[in-house]
Amino acid sequence: MKIAIGSDHAGFKLKETIKNSITGVEFVDVGAFSEESTDYPDHIAALSRLVQRGEAQRGIGICGTGIGASITANKFGGIRAALCTNLFMAEMSRLHNDANVLILGARVIEDAEAVTMVRAWVETPFEGGRHQRRLDKIKAIECGG
């Protein structure tokens, strides 16, 4: 699986931790590449475009709280970004919402918990069924319906 990953300066260390802790995944790193101040919309937009175009199957975005990254990612058609703060949310974002972008807040969760969440998020399939009907409704809203 190819996952686009991006962060601002606040999420840089967590991004690096995730890349170095998760195996069996090809990461496409869109920055930030240091802790020097940078703007999260630039990096989150880049990863969202990769997912949107199918150049990555999923994305992971990280900023200080995850709020700005979540707002940014969800501006892109076809992106279902879920801001998750615990393992249950990460699993449910895949099972019920088929989230294709996981958003994390580097200042909100510990690195070890974030890695556990990412592993679960990568491994958890979409359940489909009644949940697909709801995603279809979201897509209709996204398309102006």
| Per-residue confidence (pLDDT) for residue 142, from 0 to 100 | 84
pLDDT at 145 over 80: no
Beta strand 81-83 pairing with 101-105: parallel
| Per-residue confidence (pLDDT) for residue 85, from 0 to 100 | 98
- Nearest CA to 18 out of 35, 39, 37, 4 is that of 4
Given the residues 9, 43, 63, 84, the one annotated as active site: 63
3-state secondary structure 55-90: CCCEEEEEECCCHHHHHHHCCCCCCCEEECCCHHHH
Note if 96 is an active site residue.
yes
Write down the domain spans for the chain. 2-142
Per-residue pLDDT tens digits for 21-68: 999 999 999 999 999 999 999 999 999 999 999 999 999 999 999 999
Per-residue pLDDT tens digits for 111-123: 999 999 999 999 9
Dist. CA 20–CA 3, nearest whole Å: 13
| Per-residue confidence (pLDDT) for residue 77, from 0 to 100 | 94
Note if 143 is an active site residue.
no
The fold for domain 2-142 equals: Ribose 5-phosphate Isomerase B; Chain: A, (3.40.1400)
Per-residue pLDDT tens digits for 57-105: 999 999 999 999 999 999 999 999 999 999 999 999 999 999 999 999 9
| Per-residue confidence (pLDDT) for residue 47, from 0 to 100 | 98
Given the residues 9, 43, 84, 96, the one annotated as active site: 96
Task: Tell me the β-bridge partners of 3.
Answer: 27, 58
